[in-house]
Each structure stands twice: as structure tokens, then as C-alpha cells.
Structure 1
Amino acid sequence: MKYIIGIILVFMTFGCMSAPKDLGVKSGKLSPLKTSPNGVSSQTNQLEKLVDPLVLDIPTSNAKEIIKKACESYGKHKIIKESEDYLYVVFITGTMRYRDDAEFYFDSENKVIHYRSQSRIGYSDMGLNRKRYNTLAEFYYKNKQ
């Protein structure tokens, strides 16, 4: 039994830690969230996972720099991909070093920044992705003026 539990823990720690393959913007949309309650998005129809998009009323390049600073101030993270209208960041939690994938889509046509963040493993994130969104959004609004 201990052997089986050990294998499961190793698989959960390393096997499930790889980045999702379906991230990015397709036809103006970020990927849909999984059904588990461990993520939030500004483009979901699941009300319990819905967050407001951020208002993009400054130049996109300035907004992106503020978002990058917000991520830096939040804690351990790594920018994985960046383009003119997209930012993909992996946040790494403290003790267990879980990875959460966060995406920002700078939709200049609609003047909003869409957000999606989901934990790679586990069923519940204990509200961490929503708390992170709130912290990043607060930083963004304080510093964009």
C-alpha cells in the first residue's frame, strides 16, 4: 500500500506538473476552464469561476508592464510566453511548489484585459486563483494612473 501511495505522489508531483497544451488565445478567447473548482476566468460562463476583465484604458504596452510588475510583486513566478497582446505566467506556490498557469489577453479592440488562471493539479485550490486575481487587479488599478 505504501508503495502505491508513493507512486501516486510521484506521479502527482512530477507527471501532472507539465504545462497544459491548450493555452493561448484562439479567436479572441482564452481556453475554457476545467470542470474542477480550481480556476477563474473573465471569459467563463461558470458564474462561480467568473472574474471581471480589467479595464484597458491605457496603452497596451504600459498595461502589460504594470501586469508584469504586479506578477513580480505577487511572488514566485516565471513568464513563459509574451507577445503584443498576450502574457502567459506560471505562478509557483510556496511550500508544495504547485504550478498555476495564468494568462492575460490584452484585447485592445474591446478595451479589456481578459484573465484566466487555473491550478495544474488538485481538485480545489482553496480560492487561491481568485485571491491572486484580486491582488493582481488591485495592483494594476493602483499603478495604471
Structure 2
Amino acid sequence: MFRLLKAIAQQFLLTIVLATFFLTSSVILSVPTWAAVSGLGVNNGYLSACPASPNCVVSQNADPKHAIDPIPYHVSRDQAREILLKVLSVVPRTEVVEQTDSYIHALSKSRIFKFVDDVEFYLPADESVIHLRSASRIGDSDLGVNRRRMEQIRLALKDLNI
């Protein structure tokens, strides 16, 4: 009798834990879909600064923890932009959602939990560089994913001799 009660209690506890996990996961996973994202884009010639959390990198006016170098190019700005768009088209789980002559905004999703990162590129008319910013929408640590993504994009562009 005691074993039966213990098994029922364990099964009940497992059910509660799994229900809580799935409920929490569904709420977290739905946040990127409906969350309003502010602070994106170029304002007065600059991409937005990173928040205090370590899950962001930016190439303009950044503190040492968030700083990343811009990507220089040696072709025309239009060519650099087109090559960048081609590179982004092969970055896994990444989709360009906005683009102008000088700005590109893409969304990059994590493989398992589908967390969304905003990935931005700014090509100012007066510089031969691509400024960049990549930031997680939620959470604190990204285990360096945003920085690695941008460095991989940098390497791809370097291989294409921009």
C-alpha cells in the first residue's frame, strides 16, 4: 500500500513539474512573436547601444564588454550591401525582415528554443565599413552566440573579398 501511494505521489509530482515546464516554455517561446521591439534601427547615424546584459554586441560607442569591430569593405557600398545580403541568406535560421540602402535588420532564431536575436547592419554613406549590432530579445546570457555569429559573418565577407 505504501509503495502504491509513493508511486502515485511521484507520478503526481512529475505531472506538476512537466505541466509547469511546458506552460513556462510556451509563454517564453511566444514572447518574441508578440513582444514590441524598441530601440532598433539607426538614430542620428548610430545603432542603439547595448543594454547592461552580456547578450549583445555593437560596433559603435560600446563599452569594452559589448564592443565589436565594424567590418571594413573595399568595394562600393551597394556591392557590400548585396554581398552581405547573400551571406545572410545562408546563415542558419536567419531571415532579413527590413532593408534600406544603408540598413539591414534580420532575425536569427536559436535552434532548440527559437529565441529571437535582432541582427542589424548599418552602412553609412561616409565610411567604408559595416557597423553591426546583434542582441538577444530576452534573457541575460547568450553564451557568446551573438558575438560568434557576427564574427562568422565577418569571416564570410572576408572570404568573399569585400
CA drift of 1:44 comes to: 3.6
- Can you give the 5+ residue segments of structure 2 that lack an aligned partner in the other structure? 1-15
Query: Cα RMSD between the aligned structures?
Result: 1.9
Report which of the two structures shows the higher radius of gyration computed on alpha carbons: 2
What's the TM-score once normalised by structure 1's chain length? 0.89
Contact 1:63–1:144, Cα closer than 8 Å, also in 2: no
- Aligned counterparts, 1:54-93, within 5 A: 54-93=71-110
Contact 1:80–1:89, Cα closer than 8 Å, also in 2: yes
Per-residue deviation, residues 90-118 of structure 1 (Å, max 9, x unmatched)? 01121111111000000120221100000
1:120 and 2:137 are equivalent in the alignment: yes
What's the TM-score once normalised by structure 2's chain length? 0.81
Higher relative CO (Cα under 8 Å, sequence separation at least 6) belongs to 1
Large movers: runs of 4+ above 4 Å:
1-7
Report the number of matched residues. Answer: 145
**Aligned match of 1:103 in 120, 132, 135?**
120
Distance 2:115 2:40 in 1: 18
Larger relative strand fraction = 1
Contact 2:32–2:115, Cα closer than 8 Å, also in 1: no
Q: Percent identity?
A: 28
Residue aligning to 1:15: 31
Go from structure 1 to structure 2 and tell me whether the alpha carbon gap of 1:19 and 1:117 turns closer, same or farther (over 3 Å shift).
Answer: farther
